[in-house]
Amino acid sequence: MNFLKKYQKEFAEYDKLDHDFIDDDKIWRQLNKCENPAREDVRRVLKKAEQCVRLEPEETAILLQNRDESTIQEMYELAHQLKKEVYGDRIVFFAPLYISDECANNCQYCGFRSSNTAVRRKTLSLDEIEQEVRTMIEEGQKRTVLVYGESPATGIDFMCETIKKVYSVKTRHGEIRRANINCAPLAVDELKKLKEVGIGTFQVFQETYHHQTYREMHPANTIKGHYRWRLYCMDRAQQAGLDDNGLGVLFGLYDWRFEVMGLLYHTIHLEETFNGVGPHTISFPRITPAAGTPFSEHPRYAVSDSDFKKLVAVLRLSVPYTGMICTAREPEKVRREVIQLGVSQIDAGTRIGVGAYTKSKIANQLPGKEQFSIGDSRTLDDVVREICGMHCIPSFCTACYRAGRTGEQFMKVAKSRFVHNYCIPNAIFTLKEYLLDYASDETRLIGEEVLKQHTEQFKGEPVYNTIFKNLRRIENGERDLRL
Ligand code: SAM
Ligand code: SF4
């Protein structure tokens, strides 16, 4: 079958709907209604946000349109407080693994697009994947997100083989314990196969929720050209039993305030359709320059650093129970700032070239093999040390998904504010492993201090003894202990 016609029948079904859950005009009406809102209106919304509940679009619009410095500061403080309440002060670490840069789509902003002659195409063989994974594990990684283009060379069966391969690699320091996926939208029967091989989060970014912009960025004669196929892909994931899903927007394609509203409407749609289960994570990459890709040099709606901070805080306030991911596309300084505003996951030691972990031993780049450029190319050890210095605890925990705490189960735990009872002890165990197996002396010193502070928090609680005992067991060589 012609690859581009692969999902033709499904496309036709979506075409029959007279509307989808993103109403562009309504979003603009909501935003325009509260331009430059009064302080009392902002504070009324913040009062509600304090209760850790998902906001309504009219309320989020008020925060997005706020330009008053003093109440923006209040937004930042509350965003930080909510993140601490729901997730504690841990920051989860992961690293992407680029499996293939072959792609039949032609997204204007992406270095992998089919018309880009500046990229030499490469799909990793299973042996090469093994090499990449070994290097990642030897550097301290425990969680990864596998990234693929959309091409006949990397169909669902290939993807499943690659995931099995990643999980099969064991070294003296252990293994990758959670493999998330970032790939093109798939059909229900394909998604069931991903469920079978045991992926963590299934991520697909809508890129832009604005219909017209979506059409302009993604040519109609490509699979990605179908807006609704992408928009409803998390519905299909839920139908296939994948209840741990990640949304995202590529900021810079359209107005950032509209896009935040789009993410919120998507969240509401999923919560209403799937028994309260919204997205597990939200990502908010900004476009960065990609080789041979003029659009990426001057994005039409480039988001400034100050608007970026605001959008991160508004997302945290609007969807307090959703994990928020800030990638190494952002420079160090920006990452430091948004961590204070509600980010719960970051990548570090990242290489985004296909085959780059094996080929470039330090966190560096591989020209001609990358989808875009990264802003934070420090090593994992450097970033772990920095996070420790920010009084946060780095975590390599993979417990929830392995204990079946996903989807509705996860939401129940998250919403009853018990996450820190699991997350912090598990962060303590996984950081201890990292310090023993990989850390530099400098990082180990500050890391041990962080472990001590966080363990002391539990003094007087029943779990204190368990934490204490597990730390001794890890020191004595046991690994992968978790609650
Ligand atoms: N091919 C799949 C797709 O398009 O959904 C999955 C992976 S794509 C390699 C991962 C994400 O990278 C895209 O969804 C997009 O948001 C982001 N991306 C593409 N070009 C980018 C650029 N120039 N700068 C930053 N992020 C970019
Ligand atoms: Fe292909 Fe994804 Fe890049 Fe689009 S964003 S060209 S689909 S890899």
What residue's CA is closest to ligand 2, atom 7?
A: 105
Q: Residue 388 contacts by C-beta under 8 Å, 6 or more apart in sequence?
A: 394, 443, 446, 447, 449, 450
**pLDDT of amino acid 34:** 95
Average pLDDT rounded to a whole number, residues 373-391? 93
Residue 159 pLDDT exceeds 90: yes
Ligand nearest, relative to CA of residue 121 = 2
Cα 480 to ligand 1 centre (Å): 32
Domain assignment present for 18? no
Q: Sorting pLDDT into bands at 50, 70 and 90, what band is 360?
A: confident
Structural domain boundaries enclosing 46:
24-80
Q: Nearest bound ligand to CA 354?
A: 1
How many whole angstroms from 113 Cα to the centroid of ligand 2? 6
Query: Are residues 102 and 50 part of one domain?
Result: no
* Residues 39 and 103 reside in one and the same domain: no
Any atom of ligand 1 within 6 Å of the Cβ of 439:
no
* Mean local confidence (pLDDT), 295-306: 96
In a domain, 313, yes or no: yes
| In a domain? residue 383 | no
Lowest mean pLDDT among 71-75, 199-203, 433-437, 458-462: 458-462
Note whether 364 and 279 are same-domain residues: yes
CA of 329 to the centre of ligand 1 (A): 11
Mean pLDDT, to the nearest integer, of 107-135? 95
**Do 323 and 462 reside in the same domain of the chain?**
no
- The answer, yes or no, to whether residue 207 has pLDDT greater than 90, is yes
Question: Based on the domain organization, do 133 and 220 belong to the same domain?
Answer: yes
Structure confidence at residue 418 (pLDDT): 61
Q: What is the pTM of this model?
A: 0.96
Counting ligands in written order, the one closest to the CA of 102 is: 2
Based on the domain organization, do 146 and 30 belong to the same domain? no
* Distance from residue 110's CA to the centre of ligand 1 (Å): 6
In the reported structure, the alpha carbon of residue 431 is separated from the centroid of ligand 2 by a whole-number distance in angstroms of: 34
Is 108 close to ligand 1, i.e. is its CB under 6 Å away? Answer: no
**Centre of ligand 2 from the C-alpha of residue 140, in Å:** 29
pLDDT of the residue at 363: 47
CA of 114 to the centre of ligand 2 (A): 8
Whether residues 203 and 324 share a domain: the answer is: yes
Report which protein residue has its CA nearest ligand 1's atom 22. Answer: 287
From the CB of 283, is ligand 1 less than 6 Å away? no
> Over the stretch 26-82, which tens digit does the pLDDT of each residue have?
999 999 999 999 999 999 999 999 999 999 999 999 999 999 999 999 999 999 999
Task: Find the 245 Cα to ligand 2 centroid distance in Å.
Answer: 19
Residue nearest to atom 18 of ligand 1 (CA): 110
Is the C-beta atom of 288 inside 6 A of ligand 1? yes
Of residues 443 and 300, the one with the higher pLDDT is 443
Which among 262, 224, 209, 214 has a CA at the least distance from the CA of 61? Answer: 262
Residue that terminates a domain, selected from 43, 62, 80: 80
What's residue 361's pLDDT? 60
Both 71 and 196 in a single domain?
A: no
| Average pLDDT of the residues of the chain | 93
Domain limit, last residue, from 35, 55, 80 = 80
d(CA 414, CA 181): 22
On whether both 76 and 91 belong to a single domain, the answer is no
Q: Are residues 332 and 188 in the same domain?
A: yes
In a domain, 14, yes or no: no
Task: Report if residue 405 sits inside a domain.
Answer: no
**Cβ within 8 Å of residue 359, ≥6 positions away:** 353, 366
Q: Which protein residue's CA is at the shortest distance from atom 20 of ligand 1?
A: 110
State the distance from the centre of ligand 1 to the C-alpha of 149, rounded, in angstroms: 9
Of all residues in the chain, the percent with pLDDT exceeding 90 is 86
Report phi then psi at 212, rounded to 5.
-65, -45
* 270 plus 370 within the same structural domain: yes
pLDDT score of 370: 59
Q: How far apart are CA 203 and CA 246, in angstroms?
A: 4
Ligand 2, atom 8, residue with closest C-alpha? 149
Judge whether 267 lies within some domain: yes
With a 6 A CB cut-off, is 203 part of the ligand 1 pocket?
no
Structure tokens at 418: 């018990």
Per-residue pLDDT band at 369 (split at 50, 70, 90): low
pLDDT for 1: 63
User: What CATH number is attached to the domain comprising 234?
Assistant: 3.20.20.70
The binding-site residues of ligand 2, defined as CB within 6 angstroms of any ligand atom, are: 103, 105, 107, 110, 112-113, 149-150, 184, 224
The answer to which of 224-238, 240-254, 401-415, 445-459 has the lowest mean pLDDT is 401-415
Residues 315 and 250 in one domain: yes
Which atom from ligand 1 is nearest to the alpha carbon of 250? 16
CA 235 / ligand 2 centre spacing (Å): 21
For residue 243, what pLDDT is reported?
Answer: 92
Residue 397, domain member (yes or no):
no
Q: Is the pLDDT of residue 263 over 50?
A: yes
Number of domains in the chain: 3
Residue 284 included in any domain = yes
Task: Answer yes or no: is the C-beta of 109 below 6 A from any ligand 1 atom.
Answer: yes
Q: How confident is the model at residue 419 (pLDDT cuts 50, 70, 90)?
A: low
> Bigger pLDDT: 415 or 164?
164
Q: Report the nearest atom of ligand 2 relative to the CA of 148.
A: 8
Last residue of a domain, one of 37, 58, 80: 80
